[in-house]
Amino acid sequence: MSVLTPPDTEEVYYPDSDGLPMSDNTYQFRWIVLLAGNADAYFRDNPNVFVAGDHLIYPVKGRPDIRQAPDVYVAFGPRKGDRGSYKVWEEAGVFPQVVFEVWSPNNRQDQMAEKRDFYEAYGAKEYYLVYPEFPAHVEGWAREGGTLARIPEMNGFTSPLLGFRFVLEKGELTVFGPDGRQLRPPAEMAAERDAAERDLAQERQRSAKLAAEMVAERDVAERELAQERERTAQLAAERESSERRLAQERERTAQLAANSDAAARELAQERERAAKLAAKLRELGIDPDAV
């Protein structure tokens, strides 16, 4: 049962319930849940779209007798959140733009006409009357100027605000959402959502595992690179050492060669002196070989 809200500052009481049942049969209830549930789902990420069903709308402050409780309505502008009833003056003057009524055998055409007049008078931009039982069909009105004008052909018509497309075929009414998918019962949407969440969790798990493997591979590669750099540095150090030793050996070889050249020069000079001395001895009549 709805909880009653306290009176506002003017001590005017606005009931949260009109005492009437939400639906008269399962057909009507199923369509109410289908339309409200899908509208809510499609706009769940928009904080400024409010969706409700069997919820009283009060358009005039101080007049609790002026009210309607549409089967489903969507208000663009007001924030999401719980409300006992929808008071237009508390919603920045925004009257719900899209309204659905679902026909039941207990309805009368004059009642539905009065409801349409109400929604027209207070600002609804789109109004749809759904007939769920075979042959199922839908009637629609869209605002033109100050009135709700009958939409002449509903088969294939798309709601400008909701993006819902209505298809009539062989006595059946099918509604498709903005993504082109057929509206699904809430239980099916919940199952799809659960499956998507499981898939997402598994994908995250796979991604985490792959990331861990990539990190491990990177660590191994970095260690191997560090080892290779260390080996390269060691080889470079050994090469430099070898080059230093070779340079030193070349320097010693060059020194030895220089020493050998000096010794050869000294020997040549010594031989030259000996030859001169032998020549002088022969001039003096002395045999140098006999000395």
- Fill in the amino acid letter for 213: E
Categorize the per-residue pLDDT at 191 as very low, low, confident or very high, splitting at 50, 70 and 90: confident
Domain boundaries along the sequence of the chain: 26-182, 185-284
3-state class (DSSP) for residue 30 = helix
**C-alpha dist (Å) from residue 57 to 17, 91, 96:** 10, 11, 9
Q: Which of 6-10, 138-142, 166-170 has the lowest mean pLDDT?
A: 6-10
Q: Give the Cα separation of 127 and 114 in Å (integer).
A: 13
- What's the mean pLDDT when you consider all of the chain? 90
- Fill in the amino acid letter for 164: F
Is the pLDDT higher at 164 or at 225?
Answer: 164
**pLDDT value at 4 more than 80:** no
Supply the DSSP symbol for 97: S
3-state class (DSSP) for residue 144 = strand
pLDDT tens digits along 203-222? 898 888 888 888 889 988 89
Q: What is the rounded average pLDDT of the residues 41-52? A: 97
**pLDDT value at 6 more than 60:** no
Fold entry, domain 26-182? tt1808, chain A (3.90.1570)
- Fill in the amino acid letter for 14: Y
